[in-house]
Chains A and B, each alone.
Chain A
Amino acid sequence: MSLLQLLARSIGAVCVGGLLISCGNADTHRQVTVVGWGGSSQEAHRQAYWTAFARETGIAVKEDVWHGGIGVLRTKVRGGASGWDVVQVEAQELLLGCEEGLFERLDWQSLGGRAAYIPPAVSDCGVGSMVWSELFAYDGNRFQQGPRSWADFWDVRRFPGKRGMRRTPTYTLEFALLADGVPPEQVYAVLRTPAGIDRAFRKLDELKPDILWWTTVSQVPDLLASGEVAMSVTSPGRLVVLNHREGRNFRIVWDGNIHSVDFWAILSNSTHKAESRALLRYMKTPVHEMRLPEFIPTGLSNKASIAGLAPELKRDTPSNPDNLRHSVELDAAFWVENLEPLSQRFNAWLAQ
């Protein structure tokens, strides 16, 4: 029922949009500039949403690409007309930008109400665009009985070989605590104490000689396939795609994954706010949102779309309830506050 209502509402919005074109000033070109992460993600969003949105509403969709960083947004907003309207941001950027007034407050009523979404995807300034996770994976052809938990990841005797990890303290410290037996819901409570941070570094000491540190996630499929590492921290997307397209046998371990949400936000100095809101409504309508996992194995934020997803698509998405069961939600506030001192300590530790 609510799905139908949403559908009706979004169709209504589209009709109003269409009407405005025909009635409004023919000179004012209706358009919106949407800024995404580039690459396959941008491609997927274009195929799932933007092309159809432009066709159905007559609002031209212009695209730009960025790679994150709150500084970029500050410059865009404070530097005057930026040409950017809707931007995909990470949880940390959303938190900071919302505090600093870089984003428009959202009208949640028009998005179907806050309750229609999974809780981490709801914020005053943004609505979840994708749910993603950080976890570990291995090549299924290498282990008969593969590792199943972070404790196994740390167990180089039972599972010999190097371990790939992202060269940042973010995720790494959390994983170390999970391997040390801290339950997911207590990870950040432990990390907020000095003793907890020491505990994480002590656990990392154990594995340090066997860790190969990578910097961009695109390195992971090669590291795994070449046998350079036996297992590696990764985001699952690329591996899932390779399994489907090239018949690889990468196995993803969902136990103890860290999940987080990327958001759509409207810049507060956008000159196309009405069109931006229409685009958000369009993308978050379940029938539309459900198209995205066909192009990229990412998690969704609208409960109705998560429930309605075909099982074979659902299995490998981070928002699948099974995958969220033993999972840590990334604490953006913790990392905004502690990234600097922990990075410094992490770098000093690495160089030792």
Chain B
Amino acid sequence: MSRNTLTAGLLLGPLVLLLLGNFLAPIALLLTHAVEDREVAAAWPRTAAALREWDGRTLPSEAIAADFARELADSLQAGTFAAAVNRLNYDSAGWRTLLARTATALPLPQGATLQALGRIDPRWTQRESWLALKAAAGPYTASYLLSAVDLRRSSGGGLERVAPNQAVFVNAFGRTFGISMVVTLGCVLLGYPVAYVLAGLPSRVANILLIFVVLPMWTSVLVRTTAWMVLLQSHGVINDLLIRLGVVSHPVELIYNRTGVYIAMIHVLLPYTVLPLYGLMRGLAPVSVQAALSLGATPLRTFWEIYLPQTLPGITAGALIVFILSLGYYITPALIGGPADQMVSSFIAFYTNQSLDWGRAAALSLALLLATGVCVALYGRIAGARETVLR
């Protein structure tokens, strides 16, 4: 290895470490939550181990019941009880009450038999309860990932769809990608002419105008979103104007629906297409366009065959940034969208912050990450292929 390469490597070192420590490692760590299932085994290790061996066809043995009762009492002391209860309660509501009731009844005077547990709550003499415990005995589970695509294991061991009134995520993913595509298209269509005009101006004027493009980026997304609420509401500025001008007689519904989400998101994300396009257009030498025009091509044909292909990398870059950023949006849809406009990230936020079901949050993140990765790869191929063809 030459000295130069070595020096370059050393200089890059801090950046690589920073990326590893602050970016890749935390993400990887978080994503392991999507398949890890250790809470129950951590609280009741012997029970979990025994249940993993148990065939599940008949009720578990008395030895398991006795182990379970002892470990349940111990886990209260050790402080691992709550985590296990939360974990089980995510699967089906009711475990919290069942376990709390059982734990307060311990220790049992006549010894912890299945029958004695059954007297505390009849669910302990039902095979289904123990099967649910077995399913959570870990150490790994596919149930979070399955639930991220509205599937679950059936009692027979195969896969089945969740009940229609619980199926939200497949729709949410479709919606997220649909909204992101429309927003990307809107940003490119609106941003391209802006960048073109800016690139054609003398740089002193262009720099001043560019400030107006960049300035909104320095304002918080929340503020910009709220500003749109003021503009778009049914007695807001835009509707008042339309009514006063006699364009419409009743307020147009511009907010709390998909239209509002598109308008606000395109506005918020527009700079991300303008800037790369502007940079690229500014650097283009006008000779090819001049040559085409002087050789008799119409302006339209010149644009289509000469200018557009030259600016394609800028479109690709801008569109990709906007698309990826919109996939993660949730403040704007939450405030301006209706109930049918919520994107996947709002569900991730809900499971992370409110219900604290990090397994499910991680599974949804992983699914979103994978789907995004596939989209970006496909996009890169298509855009890359087009570029080579056009050259």
Contacts and interface: CB of A to CB of B under 8 A. Distances in A.
Given A69-B353, A167-B339, A344 B235 contact: no
B340 A351 contact: yes
A226 B340 contact: no
Contact of A337 (B83, B97, B235, B352): B97
B226 to A, nearest CB: 9
Interface string B139-156: 000000000000000000
A227 B165 CA distance: 33
A340 B357 contact: yes
Interface string B342-356: 100001001011111
Interface residues of B, number: 38
B82 A348 contact: no
Given A69-B353, A71-B353, A351-B339, A341 B164 contact: no
Interface stretch (A94-102, A254-262, A309-317): A94-102
B79 interface: yes
A70 B89 contact: no
Contact of A343 (B164, B235, B355): B355
A178 to B, nearest CB: 21
B171 A341 contact: no
Contacts of B5: none
Interface in B65-100: 79, 81-83, 89-90, 92-94, 96-97
B165 A349 contact: yes
A47 interface: no
Given A69-B353, A341-B93, A348-B168, A213 B339 contact: yes
A182 to B, nearest CB: 20
A100 B342 contact: no
Contacts of A70: 356
Contact of A100 (B82, B168, B171): B82
Interface string A326-352: 000000010011111101110111110
B236 interface: yes
- Measured as residues with beta carbon below 8 angstroms from the partner, the interface class of chain A is 20 to 34
Contacts of B89: 337, 340
A344 B338 contact: no
A263 to B, nearest CB: 18
Nearest to B80: A100
Nearest to B236: A226
Given A226-B236, A340-B90, A348 B165 contact: yes
A161 to B, nearest CB: 11
Nearest to B331: A215
B42 to A, nearest CB: 14
A345 B354 contact: no
A350 B340 CA distance: 6
B58 interface: no
A155 interface: no
Contact of A215 (B81, B235, B335, B347): B335
A80 to B, nearest CB: 16
Nearest to B230: A222
Nearest to A97: B82
Given A101-B79, A348-B167, A71 B356 contact: yes
A344 B356 contact: no
Contacts of A69: 353-354, 356
A168 to B, nearest CB: 9
A327 B213 CA distance: 52
Contacts of A336: 96
A100 B340 contact: no
A227 B98 CA distance: 47
A39 to B, nearest CB: 14
B233 interface: yes
B173 interface: no
Nearest to A344: B166
A124 interface: no
Contacts of B164: 348
Nearest to A336: B96
B96 A351 contact: no
A339 B354 contact: yes
A212 interface: yes
Contacts of A213: 256, 338-339
A228 interface: yes
A147 B21 CA distance: 58
A350 B339 contact: yes
Nearest to A99: B82
12 contacts: A69-B354, A96-B82, A100-B79, A213-B339, A215-B334, A215-B335, A222-B229, A336-B96, A337-B94, A340-B90, A347-B168, A350-B339
Given A226-B235, A333-B96, 17 more contacts: A99-B82, A100-B82, A101-B79, A213-B338, A219-B229, A226-B236, A337-B89, A337-B97, A339-B355, A340-B89, A340-B357, A343-B355, A345-B166, A347-B168, A348-B164, A348-B168, A351-B339
Interface of B: 79, 81-83, 89-90, 92-94, 96-97, 164-168, 171-172, 229, 233-236, 256, 334-335, 338-340, 342, 347, 350, 352-357
Nearest 6 interchain pairs by C-beta: A350-B339, A100-B82, A337-B96, A348-B168, A338-B93, A226-B235
